[in-house]
């Protein structure tokens, strides 16, 4: 279990920096190979690395705000408290995935967030942190990253009001 009192040590030892969606991250791996949208069913400008991977550390005092990517994102549980991934799929359905190692409680050690889904995450427990890995393919670029306000999401998904009010920004920070 990673306690909040150990947070600064983990941030320092892993070389993490604040992420715009919440939490802390560090890019750990990236493909040397590239692809373009001509080979894929997604539209973006230029080329993308085949994959990128990060460490992502989230505390129980923070959330990963609702955002969307043009790529699939695989999440891998590494340690600490379990983490919940909250997904609003393209068809409007809401799904929660519990990332962790307690299979008896429905947790899974890895999960896929499909491209174009709106998603965020939160840590289960109090005064704890969760360390996960995230691999994006085609590789992550900030130009493919969208954050959302509560008003934007409530217009499109009013049926998910409770989770939108918890995980979406009131207004996007500058």
- The DSSP code for 94 is E
Q: What is the pLDDT of residues 5-20, one digit of tens each?
A: 889 999 999 999 999 8
Chain centre distance of CA 49: 19
Please state, for a pLDDT cut of 90, what percent of the chain lies above it. Answer: 72
Helix boundaries (H) for 15-62? none
Q: Where are the domains of the chain?
A: 48-167
User: Count of H helices and E strands in the chain?
Assistant: 3, 14
Q: What is the pLDDT of residues 128-170, one digit of tens each?
A: 999 999 999 888 888 888 999 999 999 999 999 999 999 999 9
Q: What is the pLDDT of residues 84-132, one digit of tens each?
A: 999 999 999 999 999 999 999 999 999 999 999 999 999 988 889 999 9
**pLDDT, position 40:** 60
**pLDDT, position 42:** 66
Which CATH number does 48-167 carry?
2.60.120.10
The 10 Å CB-count burial string (b at 16+, else e) for 109-138 is: eebebebebbbbbbbbeeebbbbbbbbbbb
């Amino acid at each position: 279990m990673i306690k909040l009192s150990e947070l600064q040590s983990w941030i320092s030892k892993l070389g993490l920096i604040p992420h715009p969606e919440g939490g802390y991250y560090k890019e750990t791996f990236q493909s040397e190979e590239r692809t373009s949208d001509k080979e894929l069913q997604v539209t973006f400008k230029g080329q993308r690395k085949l994959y990128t991977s990060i460490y992502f550390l989230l505390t129980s005092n923070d959330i990963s705000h609702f955002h969307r990517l043009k790529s699939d994102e695989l999440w891998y549980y590494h340690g600490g408290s379990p983490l919940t991934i909250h997904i609003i799929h393209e068809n409007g359905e809401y799904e929660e995935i519990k990332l962790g190692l307690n299979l008896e409680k429905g947790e899974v050690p890895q999960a896929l967030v499909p491209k174009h889904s709106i998603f965020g995450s939160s840590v289960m427990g109090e005064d704890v942190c969760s360390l996960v890995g995230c691999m994006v393919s085609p590789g992550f670029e900030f130009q493919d990253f969208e954050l959302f306000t509560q008003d934007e999401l409530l217009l499109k998904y009013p049926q998910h009001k409770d989770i939108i009010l918890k995980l979406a920004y009131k207004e996007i920070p500058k």
